[in-house]
Structure 1
Amino acid sequence: MSTQSLSPVARLVRRVFHGRNPLTRASDRVESTVFVVAVLLALLGVPIAAAIGSEVHARESAVSADQMAGRHQVKAILLQDSAPGAANGVTGLAVRASWVAPDGTRHEGEVSAAHDLAAGAAVPVWIDGSGAVTSPPLTPDGAVITAIGLAGSLWLGLVCVLCSAYLTTVHLARRGNARRWAAEWAEVEPRWTRRIP
């Protein structure tokens, strides 16, 4: 049966598992071994990455719960106009404002505001337990995304390393085969091409 009539899976199996084929070179067996080991390590990496992702999720969920309990969103009232508008409403300008914390204490400081807002405009800000402006809390969804992202990145990194190792093995094996073929041809070619008198 010709290799052309085989399915892609059958061709892959035949390429990886050479059996007792007398034409199989040592370099072919090395390539096959590296391929099989790389696939097994990639499969073994799935539960390991999942376990790491689970640990990260547990840790990030605790951080999220702590931040959600300790941070509050309040309205800050601008005490001055924000800069006029070349940046199409992009936030990030530091503007003086005041706000009231959940315990009733009044605070003043700089908050991030969009362009073209007049003094007296209200902007939402997150504050911590002391009433200072802080970043938004990590949400439970954010904890899940962080865990999945880290686990996926670890596994993809492992796959990239394994693919590089396999491709390097193939490259070195083919270079070695080409060198051996050139050396053998250099030995045989003069006898084949010698002119008969």
Structure 2
Amino acid sequence: MGSGESRVVRLWRRLHVGRNPLARPGDRWEARLLVSFILLALCAIPVAASWGSDVYAERMATLEREAGTKHQTTAVLLADAPVGTSTTELRNVEVPARWYTPDGAPRVGDVSTYRGMAQGTEIAVWVDDAGDLTSPPATPAGAITDGVSVGVSAWLAVVGLCGLVYAGFRALLARARSVYWEREWERVEREWTRR
């Protein structure tokens, strides 16, 4: 019998104690708890998927709202960006730049760009309806990532909680079995010493 088959057989014996006369009450409770947790983990899949789907729908609704209020435009740097002293400081320098609002009015302000960019370089920026700089809109890929992350995280939280409770129950059961064995050995030792 292969190791894969022996694992399946061991799992089956753990899940289904049956009418085995050697099975202790604790074995039966452990099997019931394990079956209950497996069923709970399976039932949690559609709930977690629904939650992830709700998050995805919310992100897509946000994306649709932002699609009409955020516009990409080109900003022209009005000065040279400072040169960085290390390779870790490549971005996040503020440099004056000029861009145009959606209605065509010029605006001037500081934009975040890479170090060492020359004056006159064009960079893409996002503006709102008033022409103020804003963050880029959400993307469909980001909505998918958020939905999947929330769904998987919720399911893993349920499975992790079930696993912790099951491990705690097994630890308590092992302690109870150990105490039982000690009492039995003490009883057997007393009987052996009487003879």
Q: TM-score, normalised by structure 2?
A: 0.91
Shift of 1:176: 0.8
Q: Residue 68 of structure 2: SS of its match in structure 1? A: helix
Partner of 1:55: 54
Shift of 1:169: 0.8
Range moving further from structure 2, 76-85 or 27-36: 76-85
Q: 1: CA distance between counterparts of 2:117 and 2:77?
A: 8
Q: Alignment length, in residue pairs?
A: 193
Structure 2 unaligned regions, length at least 5: none
Partner of 2:138: 138
Partner of 2:65: 66
Q: 1: CA distance between counterparts of 2:70 and 2:85?
A: 32
Shift of 1:6: 5.7
Aligned CA RMSD, in angstroms, stands at: 2.1
Residues 82-121 of structure 1: matches in 2 within 5 Å? Answer: 82-88=81-87, 90-121=90-121
Distance change (3 Å), C-alpha of 1:155 and 1:5: closer
Q: 2: CA distance between counterparts of 1:176 and 1:15?
A: 18
Q: 2: CA distance between counterparts of 1:107 and 1:98?
A: 6
Which runs of structure 1 show a deviation greater than 6 angstroms over 4 or more consecutive aligned residues? Answer: none
For residues 12-61 of structure 1, give each alpha carbon's deviation from its aligned partner in whole angstroms, at most 9, with x where no partner exists: 11122111111111111111111011100000000111111121111111
Distance change (3 Å), C-alpha of 1:153 and 1:6: closer
Percent identity of equivalent pairs: 37
Q: Residue 73 of structure 1: SS of its match in structure 2? A: strand
Shift of 1:191: 3.2
- Amino acid in the other structure paired with 1:74: T
CA contact (8 A) 1:87 1:115 kept: no
Q: Residue 99 of structure 2: SS of its match in structure 1? A: strand
Partner of 1:187: 187
CA contact (8 A) 1:68 1:139 kept: no
Range moving further from structure 2, 29-38 or 79-88: 79-88
Q: Residue 7 of structure 1: SS of its match in structure 2? A: helix
Partner of 1:160: 160
Shift of 1:147: 0.7
Residues 72-83 of structure 1: matches in 2 within 5 Å? Answer: 72-83=71-82
Q: 2: CA distance between counterparts of 1:5 and 1:98?
A: 67
